[in-house]
């Protein structure tokens, strides 16, 4: 098979003269020689292009009064914040740890949105101390606490409220967040949201600036977003009519789908943003509302397709009439998404990428746990012990959700760009694993 006949789920992947798979033009076996396995590789240019594409599309379709706030939870490291800074992006943070990482990377704190359904007192203090731009308040207890802490520290916290717009996006139950039965945010239907926002006027140390919603993740359709825009703009009008409060910030969250397998058909950032902005401008016109600043929070769609994970196959166990297990030297510790959500992926043997995928196999991780699988009944070239094996599109929610189960050290993250590679997160060592142990 010639390389031109192969199409991968991500455009950063290719095939070189040696018949090996490449990422960002670099031979994958060569990267493994240098860095070992398991290994996470990310294409920096792809991440940069996605950052620019969202930013430019927002400016084109809505104007300068807009911001792309990358959702840090997708992949949060110091180097990632450096990339975001280069392109003027903001970020969504959800913990003291993510805030600390941003600060350590000299990120502009005024561009951070602090999310979470149960921020601790310590985290709220840390965020106030560091001058975080916006607090996305989830519940009434948080509102009171934030007001008290801000008062004690002589600060005023700018707040948005997390709203459940009552939208049911078609995605996995665990990553669905917009409907009323969700642990996140305030309900519209019950009057909860309006009544809590009304309380702000009596509190001296918080300033109402806007509302936020996030309807779920890995969503391909534009309709749920258009629905969300209608609901949110109606609510902006209600807040003004009933409470006399003007809304300056409208944050519509993230959740834009990416291509994990060939049948996935995601929209480009330009298409996504255009649809969203057209609906928003229309809704604002119809309701005669001044245009708020528009914020979106893509996470997955900025980093997922930039990454791959490379493993070494240790064994191929054929159970006649049952299944074939191809075991790799990583698994749910570096990618828990199959175990958690039954997430689908494409797999390749990078040194045999020109061969047909004649086999149907299950990819097993190395943990002492039957559920430690990366995929069931997937198509693959014929694998043998010693082969390299890649999972594609692992740039989002893999490293950030990784663990040390079975005391497995986390793999390193290597960025490739312009034909060169560099480590941006080191491989964990055994010393790292025991550094907090008290003997």
Spatial distance between the Cα atoms of 31 and 41, rounded to a whole number of angstroms? 9
Q: Which of 437, 380, 375, 428 is nearest to 404 (CA)?
A: 428
Q: Is 390 a catalytic residue?
A: no
What minimum distance in Å lies between the beta carbon of 208 and ligand LLP?
19
What minimum distance in Å lies between the beta carbon of 269 and ligand LLP?
11
Q: Check 51, 277, 368, 390 and give the catalytic one.
A: 368
Nearer to ligand LLP, 38 or 298 (CB): 298
Nearer to ligand LLP, 76 or 277 (CB): 76
Nearer to ligand LLP, 99 or 383 (CB): 99
Nearer to ligand LLP, 38 or 178 (CB): 178
> What is the distance between the terminal CA atoms of the chain, rounded to a whole angstrom?
57
What minimum distance in Å lies between the beta carbon of 149 and ligand LLP?
22
Nearer to ligand LLP, 300 or 312 (CB): 300
Q: Which of 161, 139, 147 is nearest to 243 (CA)?
A: 161
What minimum distance in Å lies between the beta carbon of 76 and ligand LLP?
12
For 314-341, the DSSP string reads: EEEEEETTTEEEEEES--TTT-THHHHH
The answer to whether the bond into 222 is cis (omega within 30° of 0) is no
User: Which parts of this chain interact with ligand LLP (CB under 6 A)?
Assistant: 71, 73-74, 92, 115, 175, 214, 217-218, 253-256, 297-301, 337, 397
For 66, 106, 178, the CA distances from 252, given in Å and listed in that order, are 11, 26, 11
Longest dimension (CA), the chain: 71
What minimum distance in Å lies between the beta carbon of 114 and ligand LLP?
11
For 265, 288, 316, 373, the CA distances from 338, given in Å and listed in that order, are 20, 46, 20, 7
Which are the catalytic amino acids?
A: 368
């Amino acid at each position: 098979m010639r390389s031109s006949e192969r199409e991968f789920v991500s455009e950063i992947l290719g095939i070189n003269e040696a018949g090996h798979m490449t990422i960002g033009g670099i031979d994958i076996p060569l990267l493994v020689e240098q860095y070992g396995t398991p290994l996470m590789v990310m294409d920096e240019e792809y991440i940069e292009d996605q950052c620019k594409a969202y930013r430019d599309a927002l400016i084109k379709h809505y104007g300068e009064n807009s911001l792309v706030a990358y959702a840090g939870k997708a992949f949060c490291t110091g180097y990632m914040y450096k990339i975001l800074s280069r392109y003027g992006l903001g970020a969504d943070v959800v913990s003291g740890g993510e805030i600390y990482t941003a600060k350590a990377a000299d990120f502009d704190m005024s561009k951070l949105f602090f999310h979470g359904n149960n921020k601790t007192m310590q985290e709220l203090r840390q965020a106030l101390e560091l001058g975080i731009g916006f607090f996305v308040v989830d519940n009434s207890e948080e509102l009171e606490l934030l007001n008290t802490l801000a008062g004690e520290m002589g600060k005023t916290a700018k707040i948005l409220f997390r709203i459940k717009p009552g939208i049911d996006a078609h995605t996995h139950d665990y990553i669905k967040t917009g409907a009323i039965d969700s642990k996140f945010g305030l309900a519209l239907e019950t009057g909860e949201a309006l009544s809590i926002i009304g309380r702000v006027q009596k509190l001296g140390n918080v300033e109402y600036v806007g509302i936020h919603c996030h309807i779920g993740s890995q969503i391909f359709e534009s309709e749920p977003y258009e629905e969300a825009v209608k609901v949110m703009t109606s609510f902006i009008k209600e807040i003004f009519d009933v409470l006399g409060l003007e809304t300056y910030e409208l944050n519509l969250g993230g959740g834009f789908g990416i291509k994990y397998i060939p049948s996935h058909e995601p929209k480009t950032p330009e298409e996504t943003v255009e649809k969203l902005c057209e609906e928003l401008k229309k809704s604002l016109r119809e309701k005669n509302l001044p245009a708020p600043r528009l914020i979106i929070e893509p996470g997955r769609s900025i980093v997922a397709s930039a990454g791959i994970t490379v493993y070494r196959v240790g064994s191929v166990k054929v159970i006649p009439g049952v299944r074939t297990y191809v075991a790799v030297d990583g698994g749910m510790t570096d990618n828990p998404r199959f175990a958690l959500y039954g997430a689908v992926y494409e797999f390749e043997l990078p040194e045999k990428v020109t061969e047909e995928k004649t086999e149907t196999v299950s990819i097993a991780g190395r943990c002492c746990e039957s559920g430690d699988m990366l995929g069931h009944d997937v198509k693959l070239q014929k694998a043998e012990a010693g082969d390299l094996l890649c999972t594609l599109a692992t740039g989002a929610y893999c490293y950030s959700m990784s663990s040390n189960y079975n005391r497995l050290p986390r793999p390193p993250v290597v960025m490739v760009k312009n034909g060169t590679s560099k480590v941006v997160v080191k491989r964990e060592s055994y010393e790292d694993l025991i550094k907090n142990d008290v003997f």
